[in-house]
């Protein structure tokens, strides 16, 4: 994806999601003397991502000057052959005109998105990849009460397992054992089979027998 950031407009809030950039992205940061500093974590996330990174500083101040820079650079890149999704990071509604031009009027139509930050741009892009799926999952709206009950149950199970396997050779495997009994296959036979598969016949059988005799799981 191509990200053109109107940093003068969005500041650090627009850089949210920088950690999700990768080597297939192209990031261009447009800025001016009016806002020329950025938090280190964002620059390190960008440069550490492996993406193509460039900056463009405003030469001379003027009304909507950076907007014209962004629109011009976008046109330049598309003219050079870029045919992927372009995301303009800005809160300026004026960029809707740029989007409309490339999606409705241009001879070679391109998809252009306007978003308030990088994370929103990635999600709006709708690419079928791991980072988009992860971001959608992280942004899922959950019931606070329901989530807390699940958290308490996990904590209770962990305490039971710690007591059950205390002093045994299986104590270092508690997380794997907990994952086993909290998995989708909760029927006794499936837990038995999965235990043998995960820990081997001898250890798997021993772990299963302990779980089977525990009345608190």
Cα dist. 111→3, 82, 156 in Å? 12, 11, 49
DSSP 61-122: --TTHHHHHHHHHHHHHHHTT--S-EEEE-S-TTHHHHHHIIIII-SS---EEEESSHHHHH
pLDDT of residue 64: 85
Is the pLDDT assigned to residue 127 strictly greater than 80?
Answer: yes
Q: What pLDDT is recorded for position 185?
A: 67
The pLDDT, as a whole number, for residue 53 is 98
Please determine, for residue 100, whether its predicted confidence score (pLDDT) is greater than 70: yes
- In this structure, CATH architecture of domain 2-138: 3-Layer(aba) Sandwich (3.40)
Query: 16 or 108, which is more confident?
Result: 16
Helix (H) or strand (E) holding 170: none
Closest CA to 177 of 152, 201, 160: 160
Structure confidence by residue, pLDDT tens digits, 30-59:
999 999 999 999 999 999 999 999 999 999
Among residues 72, 76, 124, which one has the least CA distance to residue 95? 72
Coil vs helix vs strand at 139: coil
User: Given this model, what pLDDT does residue 42 score?
Assistant: 97
* % the chain with pLDDT above 70: 99
Instruction: Work out the average pLDDT over 22-31.
Output: 97
Mean pLDDT of 61-83: 93
Per-residue b/e over 79-115, b at no fewer than 16 CB within 10 Å?
Answer: eeeeebbbbbbbebeebeebbebbeeeeeeebbbbbb
pTM for the whole thing? 0.80
């Amino acid at each position: 994806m191509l990200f053109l950031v109107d940093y003068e407009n969005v500041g650090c809030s627009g850089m949210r999601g920088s950690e999700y950039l990768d080597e297939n992205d192209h990031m261009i940061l447009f800025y001016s003397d009016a806002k020329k500093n950025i938090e280190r974590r964002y620059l390190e996330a960008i440069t550490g991502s492996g993406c193509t990174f460039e900056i463009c500083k405003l030469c001379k101040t003027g009304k909507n000057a950076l907007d014209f820079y962004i629109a011009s650079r976008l046109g330049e890149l598309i003219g050079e052959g870029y045919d992927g999704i372009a995301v303009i990071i800005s809160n300026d509604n004026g960029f809707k005109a740029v989007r409309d031009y490339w999606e409705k009027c241009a001879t070679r139509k391109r998809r252009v998105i306007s978003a308030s930050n990088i994370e929103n741009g990635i999600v709006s892009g709708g690419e079928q990849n791991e980072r988009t799926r992860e971001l959608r999952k992280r942004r899922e709206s959950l019931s606070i009460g329901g989530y807390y009950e699940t958290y308490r149950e996990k904590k209770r199970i962990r305490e039971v397992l710690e007591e059950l396997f205390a002093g045994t050779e299986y104590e270092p495997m508690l997380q794997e054992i907990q994952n086993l009994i909290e998995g989708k296959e909760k029927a006794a036979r499936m837990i038995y089979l999965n235990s043998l598969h995960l820990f081997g016949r001898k250890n798997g059988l021993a772990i299963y027998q302990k779980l089977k005799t525990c009345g608190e799981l």
